[in-house]
Each structure stands twice: as structure tokens, then as C-alpha cells.
Structure 1
Amino acid sequence: MSATEGSLRSMTGYGRGQAALGAGSLSAELRATNSRFLDIRVRLPRDFNALEAQVRATAGRYFGRGQVDISVRQRGPAANRPEVVVDLEAAGKYVSAAAQLRERFGLEGALTVSSLLELPGVAQTQEPTLEEGALEAVLEAVEQACRQAAAMREREGAALEAELRQRLEGIGAAVTQIEARAEEVKRGVRERLEKRLATLAPEIEIDPGRIAQEVVLYVDRMDITEETVRLRSHLAQFNETLGLRGPVGRKLEFLIQEIGREVNTAGSKAADAPIGRHVVELKTELEKLREQVLNLE
């Protein structure tokens, strides 16, 4: 399963894998946590450091976002040990040179073995070559760990998706209540203004057409139809995105930000206590929605 397949997934997961290698075995442990981007961190035994690129590529097929920590351990006897190689010719030249210095300048002291080994070019450590089958064993263990972690992320993602859709329905219902209340507010404001102006009409000389125009302009300033239409659009996009495959968390974060912007604007324009209470409820739900979305890949 690649990072772009399967259902909605969370970013947290855990997996283990194991593979035989020679007389011992290899174990891989994977821990995945939240992160804005894909960050794969690999720890390998020193002898296997050359395989880091292959391990990263394997994990990259399973995860599209999040911090992924992979640790590989070797159990049992290591097949190869570091080898110390001594350059006897170089050592002989050092010994000969030391003997000449003692004889010519009358110096005292002997060149010890430990001192000789520390001299440049005398002793070198050669790292062992990889044991046969090491690459296959490492990737097998890592692949097992990746599959387990990806399956765990998918199970958690399914649970998150159900909760997000439920909260989305609640937000949609609250928007419906705001829309209904906004129409009542507009009618009430229009009626009050018209009555007030009708009372004042005998006392002042104002064009009736101008009065009607001012009433419409005043009521329009309180109109939140544009905001609720955009709210509906963002909610529909959010619901549609939940059904997409692959990493969608960042897109959902953006949509929540846009939904919050429209909610704030609607609350400011409406200037109505009941709508204000609905706006507060919506903000609370959006914050809960945001917390859950931050867990999604």
C-alpha cells in the first residue's frame, strides 16, 4: 500500500518487523507522529549505514506526511568484525629511523609497540563488508513495520473521519439556524425602520423613494447571505475532501481557516444576540474540528 492509496489516515502509528540474518536476526521498530511534512528518521547499526537510502525509500512508499522514526537492531553474533591492517613496511621504516636517531645523536629510549601503532600509516581499521542478504533482511523487517504502522494509521483515520463528518453535520445545522435567524432580523429591522420613518414623515420633508432606498441600504449592511453561501461552499468542500485518498490534512486545515473567517464576518455583520450565540458555538466546534484535523495525514 502506497502513501496515496487506502482510506483517510491519521499520522500516529506503530509497527514492528523482524527478519533472519545469518545466525542472528534483525528487528525494525517504527513510530509515526504528527508533523507538517514528511520527516523520515533512520537509525541503523553502524555496519548497515550504507542502506539508509533504501530504508527511506521503502518508508516513503507508505507515508506521505508525519515524523517517521525507524530503528533497526541486530541480534545475535555479527558476521563480520572490523579488521586491523598493519603496514609492516611502514613500521619497519619507523623502527629503522628510530635506531639511526639513537645511534647518531646518542639518544635514549625505545620505540614501543603502542607508540609505533599510533604513528601515521602504520595501522588502519577496515570496516567489514555487508553480510550476504543484509539488504534483503533489513528491508523485509522495515517493510513489516511499515505495513503494521500504516494499518494502525488507517484504523485511526477511519475513526477520525466518522467523528469529523458528525461534527460537520452539527456545523451545517448551526448554519441553517443562523440563516433562518438572519432573515428574521432583516424583516424586523426593516419593519422598525419603516414604522419609525412613517411616524417622522409628517414632521420632515423627505422623498419617499429616498427613504425606501436608505432602508434597503441599512438592511443590506446587516445581510450575511454572502457569508453563509461561502460557508456552505467550504463545508461541501470539506465533506468532499474527506472522501479523497492520500494526504488531505493540510487542505482540511486551510478549509477550517476559511470557515472560521466567514463565521467571524457573519457574526460581526449580523449584530444580533441569538446569532452571536450560534457563532460562539460554531467557533467551539471549529476548534474541536481543527484539533482532530491536525492528526490527519
Structure 2
Amino acid sequence: MIKSMTGYGKAETAVAGKKITVEIRSLNSKQLDLSVKVPGLYRGLEYEIRNCVAKVMQRGKVDVFISYETDASSGSAAINGTLFGEYYRQIERIASEQGIGWDTQTIAAAIPAILRLPEVVQNENTSLSEEEQSAVAETVRQALDHIEQFRLQEGDTLIRDLLRRVDKIRALKEEVTPYEQARTEQIKARIRENIESAGIPVDSNRLEQEMIFYIEKLDITEEKVRLENHCRYFHEVAASEDGVGRKLGFIAQEMGREINTLGSKANDAAIQKLVVQMKDELEKIKEQVLNLL
């Protein structure tokens, strides 16, 4: 299945008087750029978490956020007074700057919010039980499952749009055909008119040979055939392989070469217009392919 590199997954687990939350966000990137932010209590699990995430995500800019909230009613919980006071002063200052009244009602609403901020309510027990370690690992796996489902859905949407644009390029290529014969006759007529207007005596047989040679150089049959093959191969790769983002990007580059050559040989306004439309579709394909894993 084709996946997008863009995704979001979140999972929560309650264990030993705590609520553990794991959030994973990913964006497109050429390599795996993994950032893991964990509370100090879980620092010893970071290596295991990184390995688990890397095996699943493979590529992309991935940010992992792990936090926990401790139930203040738990006997092992303690409030970090220094940190609480710092948050309180910052909120009071911001409220003053924004013209928000710092009355009893506002303070009463702010206190529960401060208690939910990272590290304000802490567990006095600095060692992790096996149960809590397992809970963290399982929550990470659940968040990975969620982001994988998200990326599969995004990937399906992306690939359907890409294939539609590839088919549009194929259709535009077919529209070129009716203009080719007319273009040849126009080129011959223009050459004859230029020679006649110059008043230069010319051998008819030699002129015909030179025109044939010139028109052969402008023939776009090979470009059309190769472009058709690239479009067909794009479909085949999209339908039969996983992790196709880079490969489809290379195929799109080859399609671009043929379209550019076709345009340089066109020598016809109608064909050039079709080439511009092909290029427009191709640029959108290249942009979207960057989001595929």
C-alpha cells in the first residue's frame, strides 16, 4: 500500500495514577529526520522508542512527543512549586499585557490549567515500574498504528490524484497527433515561400531532400512513444510496489525530459499550447510525489 509521509497519530493510556500521552507528527523529507521529546522520567526509554518509531516510519520528518499527567490525589504525586510559580507569573504577565483582568475568577480558572502543564505535578518515585515501561511502549505502538492508518488514507488520496494527472498528460499527448501532419505541410510551405521571396534559384530535388532531412529532425514520434511508456510504467509501479515515492519521482523526471523535447521540436503554436498544459500537470505531479513514502 502506498503511504503519504504526512500524518498524525495520538494515543493515551492510564497506568499507576498517570495518563500517558503519545503524539506523532510527520512531514515529507528525503531521509528519516526523527525528533523524540520525552519527560525526564522516561529518558531511559528514548533509545527503545527511537528504534520502534524508525522501523515503522522509515522516511520523513517525524516528531514524537511523550508526556504524562499525574493524578494529584495519588500519594506519590507532588507539585513542583518553583515551576508552578514560574508558570503562574508568566500567565499573570501575559494577562496584564493583553488587558485581561487578573481577578479571583480568572486565577481560579488558571490554577487547574497550570497543574496540567508539563512537569508541574510530578511523581516522587523516580524509578519506572515494568508496568509503566510496558504502558509507554504500548502507547507508542498505538500512536504508530494511528499515524499509519492516517498515512495510508492520505497515500490513497494522493496516488489517485497523481494517476488522474498522468492520464491527463496521456490524453493531451494524443491531442498532438492531428496537428502533426498539418505542421509538416506548413513548414514546407514556409520554406518555399522564404526561398521564393529571396529569389534564389534552387534545385527542386535537392530542396526536397533538405526539407525531408529538416522535418525528420522535428519529428516527435519517438518522444510521444517514450512519454507513453513512462506514463504506463508510472501506473505499473503505483499498482505493484510499496515505498514508491522516490521511484515515481524518477519516472516523473523522465516524463519531463520527453515533454520538454517535444516542446522544443514542436514548431507549432497549437502543439506548444498542449505542451504547456502537460508541463502544468507534471509540475503538480512532482510536488505531490514528494509527499509519498
Per the shorter chain, which TM-score range?
A: 0.7 to 0.9
Structure 1: gaps of 5 or more residues? 1-6, 82-126
Structure possessing the higher radius of gyration over alpha carbons = 1
**1:184 Cα deviation after fit:** 3.2
Contact 1:249 1:294 in 2 (8 A): yes
Query: C-alpha separation between the residues in 2 aligned to 1:195 and 1:31?
Result: 66
Contact 1:18 1:26 in 2 (8 A): yes
Q: Percent identity?
A: 36
Aligned-partner residue type, residue 17 of structure 1:
A
Which residue of 251, 267, 272 corresponds with 1:271?
267
Aligned positions of 1:107-256 closer than 5 A: 128-190=126-188, 204=201, 206=203, 208=205, 210-256=206-252
Which residue of 21, 27, 40 corresponds with 2:15?
21
Query: C-alpha separation between the residues in 2 aligned to 1:156 and 1:185?
Result: 44
Which residue of 50, 55, 62 corresponds with 1:61?
55
Count of matched residue positions in the alignment of Structure 1 and Structure 2: 242
Post-superposition Cα deviations, 1:139-184, rounded to whole Å, max 9, x if no partner, equal: 1001111111110111111111221111111110001112332243
Post-superposition Cα deviations, 1:205-260, rounded to whole Å, max 9, x if no partner, equal: 7373x343212101112111222122112211211222133222222222222222
Query: C-alpha separation between the residues in 2 aligned to 1:165 and 1:183?
Result: 30
Aligned-partner residue type, residue 273 of structure 2:
R
Aligned-partner residue type, residue 267 of structure 1:
G
Contact 2:15 2:135 in 1 (8 A): yes
Q: Scaled by the length of structure 2, what TM-score is found?
A: 0.73
Contact 1:17 1:140 in 2 (8 A): no
2:43 counterpart of 1:49? yes
- Residue 246 of structure 1 aligns to a residue whose secondary structure is coil
Shift in CA distance, 196/34, structure 1 to aligned 2, threshold 3 Å:
closer
Query: C-alpha separation between the residues in 2 aligned to 1:296 and 1:170?
Result: 20
Query: C-alpha separation between the residues in 1 aligned to 2:23 and 2:56?
Result: 15
- Residue 217 of structure 1 aligns to a residue whose secondary structure is helix
Contact 2:70 2:77 in 1 (8 A): no
**1:191 Cα deviation after fit:** 6.5
Contact 2:218 2:266 in 1 (8 A): yes
Query: C-alpha separation between the residues in 1 aligned to 2:284 and 2:227?
Result: 17
Q: Scaled by the length of structure 1, what TM-score is found?
A: 0.72
